[in-house]
Amino acid sequence: MKNKLYLLSVICLGIISCIDKTPDAREIMDQAMQSHGTSIAGNGTLEFNFRGIDYSATRENGRFTYKRHLTINTDSIIDQLDNDGFTRFKNNQPLHLADSLSTRYAASLNSVVYFAQLPYSLDGDAIYVKYISQDTIQGQAYHEIEVTFDEDGGGEDHEDVFMYWVNVDDFFIDYLAYSYCEEECGYRFRESENRRNLNGVTIQDYNNYKSEKAQPDLSKMDDLFEEDKLIKLSDIDLKRAEFTKN
């Protein structure tokens, strides 16, 4: 009788453990990165045009170089951000800029490249991932993952908070939301579209929305999206995108 009771207790504890076990957010994000081809992106060059401006992101063995090509009046301007910092070139000659301008230009260049290659870089030491819940959007099941950043190593925007909806079937990120505070604070929700594979690296465009509410719950913005309570702001489209492996 004691053996039967012991066996029953073990079975019950096992069932409770299975029910209570929260999926590993880090494992899910790693699978999402694999689906998006981030390991391949770590050694190659992505080139694209965003809102009429040409960008490139080159990476090789931990080194990176981001570039943005502009024409101001008749001058050729190249903004470059790499492991050593930010430099602006005018007609191939480096310019001396105030620190405030360098910081602003570097942040805007980094932001465009960051969003273009998400979820690349979401495995850094300053990245914290947390499993929120399993959710559904338009009938499809998703892992809802929160991403926050350590102040040490988290960059200029370390206070930003991101929410990713990772498809439970293929581990692609179909939706994301984030909060930010720059000159003003805001909340955004993005719906992926036009997903394509470029030599093993997946990139996608987005429909970009904001909430009618001033301070929405970030994890509930998918509900607002389904209820048609978000306002579309813009299309985030990467034109003429190409990826070349090293």
Domain ranges of the chain: 23-41+120-239, 43-117
Q: How many CB atoms lie within 10 A of CB 89?
A: 16
Who contacts 237 (Cβ-Cβ below 8 Å, separation ≥6)?
50, 194, 205
Q: Is residue 78 very low, low, confident or very high in pLDDT (cuts 50, 70, 90)?
A: very high
- Rounded to two decimals, what is the model's pTM? 0.86
Residue with tokens 């009618």: 212
**Tens digit of pLDDT for each residue in 183-209?**
667 899 999 999 999 999 999 999 999
pLDDT of residue 232: 97
Q: Is residue 7 very low, low, confident or very high in pLDDT (cuts 50, 70, 90)?
A: very low
pLDDT of residue 63: 95
Who contacts 223 (Cβ-Cβ below 8 Å, separation ≥6)?
none
- Which class in CATH covers the domain with range 23-41+120-239? alpha beta
- Residue 151's φ and ψ, nearest 5 degrees, are -60, -35
Express as a percent the part of the chain with pLDDT over 90: 77
pLDDT of residue 85: 95
**Tens digit of pLDDT for each residue in 101-159?**
999 999 999 999 999 999 998 998 889 999 999 999 999 999 999 999 887 644 555 57
pLDDT of residue 15: 45
What is the residue-averaged pLDDT of the chain? 89
